[in-house]
Structure formats: structure tokens, C-alpha cells
Structure 1
Amino acid sequence: MRTQRKLSRLDRVFARLDREPERPADIDVPRMSRHRVVLFSATLAFYTAIVWAVVVSSWLVRLDWQVMFFRPYQQWPQIHAFLDYYVVLGQRGPTAVMVASWLGWRSWRQHTLRPLLSLGAALLLLNITVGAAKYGMGRLGPHYATVIGSNEMWRGGDIFPSGHTANAVVTWGILAYLASTPRARRWLSALSAVTSLGVGLTTVYLGTHWLSDVLLGWAAGLLILLALPWFEPLIARTETAILDLRDRRRVGRALPAPVPAPVVASPRASTPRKAPVAGEASAREPVPATRAARPPVYLAPGPHTTRGERTPVTPAGSRRPPQPERVPRGTAPARPLAGG
């Protein structure tokens, strides 16, 4: 009995790299369910509460100053070098390139632009909302604080909310949002939560953000992920428009050269001629509407046939030209008569 060979891990990897023959029909698109609406509302309320607590200089601002005076980077200097590299996981450029590479491969494999378009929509929302909040509230960071105990609001800063934290939540959370199975979505959600939590606490350790900046950054990133299902119809229409434009360009390049239209005779040529009447001596023949094409000047008049259609003709007689002075063979030349 012949048994089937067990696939190795490398074989499974190469099988996974094979492209789907067509777009899968069971792509799970998240919907704006009631549970998601409740989470969005709760996160929005948390966002508003953090902003209000900082504006009124509540206990949260006092906690910010206590953490700043604690100076974590001086308490644990041995992890400073590692966290300098770890915080890169929250920077916009490197993380966007890494995640876009993975989602680009998924788009190519599944014949769909939805992963890349979802990432683009999330980053666009992130730039608009977080950027507007940063420059609108203008809070200064711990290294640039001027008055002890102050909330440092509206002084030309741009650190509230934390951009590193919000970017980490959105960039790594989009992988969980686009996961194809519930199990993968759970694992990726936990991984993105831990990564964004570590990035936010790293900025507090390095002294570049207040603790309240990090809390507001988590809320800002989570709001974008929870609101993405509202933009799914727009993403679908954009994908359809891009694919239609691509198909029209392909069809335009594959069209053959246009064939010239046939020449249509004028209606006068198809009009029947009148029979000549007896007794009209000077009746002229009607001139046809289209004249016959004249032969080229270098051809003799008359019908011409191709060389293959001509009948071979054998010439009669000798082909040599006549020579009157030549004496034919077998006859002696006439001798002159001698006199005498």
C-alpha cells in the first residue's frame, strides 16, 4: 500500500506562498456591530475624560509630574539601550513600511486591494485626528516644561496625545483587523496590545511624554480601529474603481489597429440608365459616376496577367541571328576562274 508523503515545514511554507487562482469568496469583512458601537462609545468617553482631566489640572496632571520627577531612565539605566531600539516600533515610517510589505503580499496573493486600502485609510485617519489634537492643544513635553504642576497646555507643543503610542495601536492593530480567522484575530490583537503598551511606557521611561499623553494615544488609536468598518463601503468602491481603470487600460492596449472603412459608391452609380430612343441622333452616353482606374504609366495598355498565369511559348527556328557571309558546312567555297 502506497502512503502519502508527509509535508515538511518548508513544503508547507512554499505551498503557502502559492498565489490563489482567484479572489477568495469568504473574505471576512468586519461589520459595525452593536458590540463594536458600545466599545467605540466607551473609548470616546475615556478620550474625553482624559482631555478634561488634563485641561482642569486634576490629579492626573499631578501624577504626570510625579512620574517625571521619578526619572525612570535614571532608576533603570541598564535597559536604556534596548528601549532606544524598541521605541522604533512606534515610529510612523519604519512600521508603515514593514506592515505595508506584508499587506502588499496578501493583496497580490488574494487578488484584492482591500488590505492596502484599509491600511491607507487607517493612517490617513490617524494623521488627521491625532495631528489636529496635537496642534490644537499644543502641550509641551516633560523636557520643555516651564511651570511645575502646570498642565503645559496651549504653549506651542505637539505631544498630546502620544503619536508613537497611537501609531503603534493602529499599525499593529490593523493586522488583527484584517486577520482571516477568529483565532488569528485574537492572537494578533493580544500581540498588538502588548506592543503598543510597551511603546507607550517606553516613551514615559525616556521622558519624552507624560503618562496622560500615552493614555490619550491608546484611546486615539483604538478609536480609529473601531471606526474602520464605517469606511468599508468607501474602501470597496475605491477598489472597484481602481480595478476597472486597470481593466480599461489593459483592453485599450490589446485592441488591434483600426481597419479602414470600405468605400461606398455614390447613389448615382446605382441608378439605372435610360434606354436610348430611336430618332435622337445626338444622344450622349451617360458618364458613369466612378471612372475606371487608369493603369500606371510604365505598363502597356491592355489586360496583363501574372508571370505564373502565362502560357510558355517555344520559339520556332534558330535563335542565332542570320549571318549572310558565313558558308554552311559541307559545301566547298567557289573558286575564281583563271583566265588564259
Structure 2
Amino acid sequence: MRTNDELVRLEERPTEPVRPRMTRTRLGIFAATSVVYLAIVVGVLTTSWPVRFDWQVMLFRPYKQWPEIHTFLDYFVVLGQRGPTAVAVAAWLGWCTYKQKTLRPLLVLGTSLLLLNATVGAAKIGMGRLGPHYATAIGSNEMFAGGDIFPSGHTANAVVTWGVLAYLATTPRTRRISSVIAAMLALGVGMTTVYLGTHWMSDVTLGWSAGLLVLLALPWFEAPMARAEAWLLAVWHRLRRTALAPAQLAPVAIGGPRPAADDQRPVREPVGVGGRTAGSAARVPDGRPHLSPKPHTVRSERTPVTPSGSRRPPSPDRTPRTAPLGPATGRGRTVGS
């Protein structure tokens, strides 16, 4: 029977990355968040109670009520800025990719940021709302005036960037802790933008909803991300084999292997027939054309000299040795005498 300590250790043990599915609970939360998103947009467009509340908070001017925390919140709001947070989270997920031997963490981050930029960016440009510092008339919704603050990009980015860490957690306890931390950071960043006067309260509420919708929609993109991971790994292995192929198929020099570069000892090659080294016909130091050596015959293969004849060429002034000399000279003798 397992003890409580063993159960805790089993719970904390890292497991294989599980790709979440779109369950009924997640689908229900997604539908409820979509309703809240549409309600905020309609309330701002119709200049109803969200706009009135926005103006009440704006005229309260929180940055003047508590000026002592202004400097700290100027730095804290960077946790919702897209550039620094994306770099920090990408560095951590890159390390997780190396340890887990899978591209899924980086693919999830890239997909979530792409969805965030597409949805939030389109809403910002489409509705064009002005911020509190650029408001033109008290009580107006400041819509379609060329602004780009509705919904709040800082808030939505904080929800998505830090929420991805909870989405990728491998144990239930880590997922719970990461979710609480991500929620606190997103809440703090959103309220900080209201304090600084850069966003309306309805901007922040819509930013929370937009970021949560991106996180809830990620399970629908798990299958495309799995296919993208398989394709990227296949391309990587193919490029790696192509890069290693020339080194494996390098030609071997004629005359045997060469010594290492740091070995300066002279190499003695076998001497062939005629004083030439083996392979000298193929290696010409100065690059001039070199004819291959002709075959050298040994003495036993030459035509032997027999007593019946001489190898000297005939001459008209010479008398053949086989002819007998005349008796007048007294010097000759017949063959065989």
C-alpha cells in the first residue's frame, strides 16, 4: 500500500507531454467567455453602462490618488509588453524543448502569439477607440476615431504569454501553481494600465476575455502543430544527412592514406621498377604532363646471341667469319680448324 509521500512523489514525477483536448468543460468556458466578449463590445458601441463606468474611473485619476507607486508600476507593466515577455518565455521554452526532445513547447508559443496578434490586432484596428488621454468629449465611447487600444494588448498578452506556461505544465500541481501566477500577473498588468491612464476599464476587461479565448482555443490546433512538428523534424534530419554526406564520401588519395597534419615525418613510399616510386605516374609535383613509363624487359627476355651469327650490322668491307681465307695471305683458316 502506498503512503502519502509516495503518492506525492508519483504526482510530481514528469510524464510524457499530453496534448489537451477540447473537452465539454473547456468548450463551455469558451462559449461563456465569447458571450462576455460580445457583451462588452455591444455595451461600448451603444455607450451604455461600461462607458459610464470608464469615465468614472478616468475622472478619479488613480495615478494622482497614489503617486508613490507610480514608479514601480511603470516597470511592472512591462510584464505585459509583448516583446520582452515573448523573449523571456521563448528562452525558457527553448530549454524545455531541448530537455524534452520535442518542438511542441515552441510551437504552442508561436501558435498562441499568432492567434493573439491576428484576433486582437484586427479588433484594435477595426474599432479604432481612443484612450483616456486622447478623449475628445466626456461621456463618449471614443469609437472609430483612429485609436488602437480596444481591447488592451498588454492585458491580452499577459494572459496568453504567462498562461502558455500553465498550458504546457506536465504535472497537475505545477499546472495549478502556474495558472494562479499567470492569473495574478494578468490581473496586475490590466489594473496597472488603468492606474496609469493608458486604458479604459472596458479595454482591460475585453483584453482578459480575448487572451482567455486564445488559450481555450489551443486544443483545436494541437493536431496541426503535431503535423508541423513531424514535418520540421523530417526536414532537419534530411538537411543533416545532406551536410554529412560529402564528409562520408570524400575520395581517398592514390598511394595510401596521408599522415596527420601535425605529423611532419617524411613518408617513405615503396620504390618500383626503374627507380620510380609506386604511384609516381599519377603524382606530378609541378603539374606538367607526365607520360606513363614503358614496360622494362629483363635480360632473360631479350633475343639471345647464337654462334651462328653476330649482332653487329653487316659491312661491305668486312669478310664474313664463316668464309675461309686464301692461301696467299697465309692468315686464314677454315671453320673448325
Flag whether TM exceeds 0.5 (same fold): yes
Are 2:54 and 2:200, in contact at CA under 8 Å, matched by a contact in 1?
A: yes
Aligned to 1:216: 206
Per-residue deviation, 1:253: 2.5
1:62 & 1:181 partners in 2: Cα distance? 44
TM-score, normalization: structure 1?
Answer: 0.70
Per-residue deviation, 1:299: 2.2
2:113 & 2:244 partners in 1: Cα distance? 37
SS of 2:239's equivalent? helix
Per-residue deviation, 1:258: 8.0
The amino acid across from 2:111 in the alignment is A
Encode CA deviations 1:75-107: one digit per residue, 9 max, x unaligned. 011111111111000000111111111100000
Aligned to 1:59: 49
Give unpaired runs (5+ residues) of structure 1. Answer: 1-23, 260-295, 305-340
Per-residue deviation, 1:170: 0.2
Aligned to 1:312: none
Q: Of the candidates 268, 292, 299, which is equivalent to residue 294 of structure 2?
A: 299
The amino acid across from 1:214 in the alignment is V
The amino acid across from 2:249 in the alignment is A
Aligned to 1:85: 75
Per-residue deviation, 1:250: 1.7
SS of 2:205's equivalent? helix
Q: Kindly tell me: are residues 303 and 198 of structure 1, through their superposed partners in 2, closer, same or farther at Cα, counting changes over 3 Å?
A: farther
Per-residue deviation, 1:29: 1.4
TM-score, normalization: structure 2?
Answer: 0.70
Encode CA deviations 1:143-199: one digit per residue, 9 max, x unaligned. 000011000000000000000000000000000000001111111111100110000
SS of 2:220's equivalent? helix
1:193 & 1:297 partners in 2: Cα distance? 84
Aligned to 2:36: 46
1:1-340 to 2 correspondences below 5 Å = 26-255=16-245, 256-257=248-249, 298-300=293-295, 302=297
SS of 2:94's equivalent? helix
Q: Kindly tell me: are residues 146 and 303 of structure 1, through their superposed partners in 2, closer, same or farther at Cα, counting changes over 3 Å?
A: farther
1:85 & 1:79 partners in 2: Cα distance? 10
Encode CA deviations 1:8-49: one digit per residue, 9 max, x unaligned. xxxxxxxxxxxxxxxx87212111111110010000110000
Q: Kindly tell me: are residues 303 and 242 of structure 1, through their superposed partners in 2, closer, same or farther at Cα, counting changes over 3 Å?
A: farther
Q: Kindly tell me: are residues 163 and 258 of structure 1, through their superposed partners in 2, closer, same or farther at Cα, counting changes over 3 Å?
A: same
2:191 & 2:214 partners in 1: Cα distance? 21
2:182 & 2:200 partners in 1: Cα distance? 22
SS of 1:151's equivalent? coil
SS of 1:245's equivalent? helix
2:298 & 2:177 partners in 1: Cα distance? 89
Are 2:151 and 2:204, in contact at CA under 8 Å, matched by a contact in 1?
A: yes
The two structures, once aligned, show a CA RMSD in angstroms of 2.0
Per-residue deviation, 1:298: 3.8
